[in-house]
Amino acid sequence: MLIHIDGDSFFASIEQSVKPYLKGKPVVTGKERNIIAAASIEAKKRGVGRGMTLWDAKKMIPDLVVLPTDYETVSLFSKRMHDIIRRYTPVVEEYGVDEAFADLTGLRRYHHTSYEGIAAAMQKDIHGELGITVTMGIAPTKTLCKIAVDKGKPAGLISISRSRIDEALGGVEVKDIWNVGPATAALLRKYGMRTALEFKQKPEEYMKKLLTKPGMQTWYELNGIQAIPFEEEKVSYKSIGKSKTFTPPSNDKEFVFAQLVKNIENACMKARRYHQGTTNITIYLRTKEFRGVGIEGKVERVTAYPNELIGAVREMFEHIWKVGYYRATGVFLSNLQPLNPMQPTLFENPARLIRYTNLYGAIDELREHYGKHAVHLGASLHAQKTQHLSSRGDMPVRREMLVKGETKRKRLPIPMLQVPLR
Amino acid sequence: MSWPSPAEEELLDTISFDEWLIEPSTFMVKVQNDAMQNAGIFTDDIVIFRRGQKPKSGDIVIADIEGEWMMRYYQIEEGRPVLYPANGHYGVITPDELTVIGVIRSVIRRY
């Protein structure tokens, strides 16, 4: 049997956990983007949800508590949640920050309890130690686990045994099945399948004519046959991505390019911190209408220095730029490799390379002293100004509540209770 | 070929400060008053507490009393929890309702 563990309103619940005076209040995160990233159960009950603009949400809930996203604290909680799950089984797939799949097969005797008993113990540990709730779904396959979790939200524990699959699938619409996209859902409906049960009960040969491999995987999974593999390997820093939305959207080409360059500087900074460099760079632009356009480029050798990338990036940018309004830019550095020692390519002037290294070493040091963007490329100047204006009040509390010895950039990896103690 | 350093092997039996201080469910909180000063906990100290741990009499706890957050000694008297400060300027509290958030494990002070 597999289990799916899903944090309830994860980002918002974590805020309520470290700021317990917010328990029972409508809380949302995403202040820095003006769009709701997560809503607490109380906010959801009053009609506010993910993706809504803050402006709309505040109209619905005047006493709404709006917070910036605290990715650092979320990451600490995420790691702890996965660690707690690992106390019960070694086979865990971290499926995003707030979700996991785990395999409980064969562990009932070891834990002296049923699958439900194991799940309840995990749930209790997570709630007791982290102060957040999770929903659990137990079933023979991942897809069925997902359906169980949907039924159990929030804080529930639902189990679908082999003999009760049909019962569980009756009320589930095909569009709500995990991994079923709008196109597949429309196709299934066209062929008279409205519910997951109707889909599941169609003969295999019939479905094979209709669906491609991923669609058939879902069909097998609904029939209790594991078809989606378990991925235990944790995704490491194989790529680094940085993107930023700006408001209002802009049609100023150089401004948009500046935003892109700033993302490249940020991504390179992060790569250097992990002593990694890249040869593959992907850039993308997102239009006002949320359409995305991207392009991938390759440079001749591993680097983590914006200077060396900017020429290539400008070419790529010219390639995809079309007149219009844009709201976000982003960059991906993929195929990361160790940065040191830097191997100069043939015909290259090694002095140049060393000069770059030193230059950026100095910039990283300056940043420690004067903040992140003390020194940056001229090309991103445009973007620097807006960052400084908009970032005020958008900073998670934890960044300001430093303990002696912490810096704005580095803090202790322990969640901090953010309440005034009397 | 060279012999492995004996120092390496001896160090296998040591633990890092992290391992020593941080348990799976530890959180930290900044002390903002002198209510526990006679217990050696002062303003601006960092307290490491274990969230979700059941308190026993004599523990120092972080507790929620009807929306007020405090750090106090926890005592059970006649079957009821009582919160004692470690400073004569603060009163003893016998709350009707009390939620213990965690139990203090260590205090850190950087000079």
Contacts of A56 (CB under 8 A, 6+ apart): none
The pLDDT of residue A387 is above 50: no
pLDDT, position A355: 46
| Residues B78-104: tens digit of each pLDDT | 999 999 999 999 999 999 989 999 999
Please check the confidence at residue A362 and state whether its pLDDT lies above 80. no
The nearest CA of chain B is from the CA of A20 a distance in Å of 8
pLDDT above 90: residue A386: no
- Does A375 score more than 90 pLDDT? no
Residues A87-101: what's their mean pLDDT?
91
pTM beyond 0.80: no
Q: What pLDDT is stored for residue A304 in this prediction?
A: 85
- The whole-number pLDDT of residue A13 equals 96
H or E element that contains A12: helix A10-18
> 3-class secondary structure for A37-51?
CEECHHHHHCCCCCC
In order of A45, A51, A94, the CA distances from A99 in angstroms are: 22, 19, 6
What pLDDT does A345 receive? 53
What per-residue confidence (pLDDT) applies to A87? 93
Question: Is A404 an interface residue toward B (CB < 8 Å)?
Answer: yes
What are the C-alpha distances in Å from A387 to residues A285, A290, A313?
18, 21, 21
* pLDDT tens, position by position, A162-205: 999 999 999 999 999 999 988 999 999 999 999 999 999 999 99
Which chain B residues have a beta carbon less than 8 Å from that of A83? Answer: 24
pLDDT of residue A302: 81
- Answer yes or no: do A404 and B22 touch at CB < 8 A: no
Contact A421 B31 (CB under 8 A): yes
Task: Output DSSP code: residue A235.
Answer: P
> What pLDDT score was predicted for residue A204?
96
Query: CA of A415: which chain B residue's CA is closest?
Result: B27
Instruction: Tell me the average pLDDT across A328-348.
Output: 70
Detail the DSSP E strand segments found in chain B. 26-30, 46-51, 60-65, 68-77, 80-84, 99-108
> What is the rounded average pLDDT of the residues B10-25?
84
Is the Cβ pair A421, B46 closer than 8 Å? no
Q: How much is the average pLDDT of A301-317?
A: 84
Query: What pLDDT is recorded for position A240?
Result: 83
The predicted complex's ipTM stands at 0.88
Mean pLDDT value across chain B: 90
Count of alpha carbons within 13 Å of A300, Cβ hemisphere only? 8
Among chain A residues, CA nearest to B50: A129
Answer whether B69's CB lies under 8 Å from A420's CB.
yes
A186 and B CB contact within 8 Å: no
Q: What is the model's pLDDT at position B94?
A: 94
pLDDT of residue B105: 96
Residue B4: band (very low, low, confident or very high) from pLDDT cuts 50, 70, 90:
low
pLDDT of residue A369: 47
pLDDT category at A27 given cuts 50, 70, 90 is very high
**Which residue in the set B26, B44, B69 is minimally distant from A422, CB to CB?**
B69
Winning range, highest mean pLDDT, from A273-282, A320-329, A338-347: A320-329
pLDDT score of A338 more than 90: no
The CA distances from residue A420 to A22, A216, A397, A416, B43, in Å, are: 13, 55, 13, 12, 12
User: Where residue A252 falls among pLDDT bands split at 50, 70, 90?
Assistant: very high
Smallest CA–CA separation between A364 and chain B, in Å? 27
State yes or no: pLDDT of A347 exceeds 90: no
Which pLDDT band holds residue A256 (cuts at 50, 70, 90)? Answer: very high
Identify which of A20, A403, A415 has the shortest CB distance to residue B64. Answer: A20
The residues in A 65-104 lying below 8 A from B, measured between CB atoms, are: 80, 83-84
Is the alpha carbon torsion for B93, B98, B104, B108 positive or negative? Answer: negative
Compare CB distances from A422 to B28, B33, B48 and report the shortest one's residue.
B33
Reported as a pLDDT band with limits 50, 70 and 90, residue A349 is very low
Mean pLDDT for chain A? 85
Return the ∠ at Cα B110 (arms to B108 and B111), rounded to 5°.
145
**Is A414 in Cβ contact with B29 (below 8 Å)?**
no
Measure CB to CB from residue A414 to each of B28, B35, B70 and give the nearest one: B28
Residue A388 has a pLDDT of 41
